[in-house]
Each structure stands twice: as C-alpha cells, then as structure tokens.
C-alpha cells in the first residue's frame, strides 16, 4: 500500500515534443504528490506538486494531471527541450496512512530529449 | 544550489567498517531527512529529525543510526558495512517537517563499499 509505481522507466522524445510520465498509488491516505527532477551528480529538486483538491496544475511547460478516482497522476512536459533531459521522480505522502508525512518515491524515469 | 551541504562527496571503504556522513541543512530549516538511492531500490526514505528529535523512521537498517545536533546539522552513521550498502546517500531539509513543506536535497555522498 505504500508503493508508488512509475512508468515508463525511460523515455526518448524529440525536441518540441510532449513528454508524459505516469504514476499510480494505492494508499488513499496520500494527499500530496510532488515531482522531482534530478540531473546526474545532483540531488533531486522539486519541480511541481499537487494536492488532490485540484485535477490539474500548470507551471510553465510542466503540468500535473491528477485522477483521484483512478489513483493516478502524471507529469506532462510540453515543448520538451534537450535541457529537460534528466531523471524524473514522482512521489507521494500523507500524514495518515503510514508515511507519516514523508515522501514515498517512484523508481524514476530517465528522459532524453533529442535535438 | 539548494543550500544543503553534505560531506564528504565520495567515500570508499571496506566491508565491516563504520563511516559517518554529515549534513548541514539550509539556514533556518529545522527538519532533516536522510535518503538512500540505489539502482535497484530507487530513492528510499531512511529517517527524519525535527529540531533535534527523531520524528519518523523509514527503511533504516539497525546497523544505521542518525542524530541531529543543537546547531541542526545531522550525521548518519553506517556500521558493519556490507557491499550492498554502496549507494548515494542524500540529506534533505525543510522548514518545519510538515507534509507539504518542500524538501531541499543536498548533492549527496556516494558511498562505495569494497
């Protein structure tokens, strides 16, 4: 119940295309869903986050879509650029339900954007 | 630069040894988290401290321990090291340790156990 399943493991997109990464969770007590971006040799950095009271959140080229009934959320990167090439992690947390507010991460998606 | 510092950057040691990883949180942040990142397990939460007190434990082995000092820096102690402990260890900090607080990650310590 604590798992967050992320797909795909890797993704290759042409410059200007849309990158889509999906995550699914089981624990209905999760109520905070951030996405982190990690470049090689660096720590993860928060990209965008959503709470389940909204179905979509957009920040620049990055959008989170959230489907509470399906227990799924996804990251869309519009107009993907070579500089977006990184590993992306979805995560979930909730005060109740065992995670005690701490982040449960998906396994990550390695995105490569080809010029 | 997240403002979280970790030392050392790299650590190479032998099985059975003990090492200490150090983390300084961002100025003003009271909460420190430790994570382990490996290829097979991904990013796993180990332990959280808030203002010197242990707040939550994740998948932390009994051979591992941590503490947060009065100046808010934290140390992660790994003992009786095994080959499988080779991984990246990240420290993160947040303002209050609440669920919705953004966690700022340090650059990590790469531990290699030979």
CB contacts of B33 in chain A (<8 Å) are 102
Where are the extended beta strands (E) located within chain A? 4-7, 10-14, 19-25, 33-38, 45-50, 56-59, 62-67, 72-77, 86-92, 104-105, 109-114
CB contacts of A107 in chain B (<8 Å) are 42
Unique residue bearing structure tokens 């959008």: A63
Between positions 46 and 105 of A, the ones with CB within 8 A of B are 46, 49, 51, 89, 93-95, 100-105
Residue (of B89, B86, B93) closest to B76 by Cα position: B89
pLDDT tens digits for range B63-100: 999 999 999 999 999 999 999 999 999 999 998 766 66
Unique residue bearing structure tokens 């382990």: B36
Backbone angles phi, psi at A6, to 5 degrees: -120, 140
Taking the Cβ of residue A31 and every Cβ of chain B, the question of whether any pair is shorter than 8 Å is answered with: yes
What is the maximal distance between C-alpha atoms in chain B? 39
Percent of chain B scored above 90 by pLDDT? 81
Mutation test of the interface with chain B: which of A36, A38, A39, A43, choosing the one with the most B Cβ atoms within 10 A? A43
pLDDT tens digits for range A58-111: 999 999 999 999 999 999 999 999 999 999 999 998 765 445 668 899 999 999
Backbone angles phi, psi at A83, to 5 degrees: -65, -10
pLDDT tens digits for range B18-60: 999 999 999 999 999 999 999 888 899 999 999 999 988 888 9
């Amino acid at each position: 119940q604590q798992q967050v399943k992320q797909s795909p493991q890797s993704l290759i997109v042409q410059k200007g295309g849309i990158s889509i990464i999906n995550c699914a969770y089981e624990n209905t007590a999760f109520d905070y869903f951030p996405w982190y971006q990690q470049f090689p040799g660096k720590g993860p950095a928060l990209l965008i986050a959503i709470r389940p009271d909204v179905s979509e959140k957009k920040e620049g080229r990055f959008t989170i879509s959230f489907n509470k009934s399906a227990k799924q959320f996804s990251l869309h990167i519009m107009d993907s650029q070579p500089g977006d090439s990184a590993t992306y992690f979805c995560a979930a947390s909730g005060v109740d339900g065992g995670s005690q507010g701490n982040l449960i991460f998906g396994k990550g998606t390695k995105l490569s954007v080809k010029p | 630069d997240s403002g979280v510092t970790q030392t050392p950057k790299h650590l190479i040691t032998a099985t059975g040894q003990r090492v200490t990883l150090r983390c300084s949180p961002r100025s003003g942040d009271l909460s420190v988290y430790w994570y382990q990142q490996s290829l097979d397990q991904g990013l796993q939460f180990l332990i959280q401290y808030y203002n010197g007190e242990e707040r939550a434990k994740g998948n932390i082995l009994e051979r591992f321990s941590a503490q947060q000092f009065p100046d808010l820096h934290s140390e992660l102690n790994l003992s009786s090291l095994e080959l499988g402990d080779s991984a990246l260890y990240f420290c993160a900090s947040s303002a209050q340790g609440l669920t919705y607080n953004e966690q700022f990650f340090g650059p990590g310590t790469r531990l290699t156990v030979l």
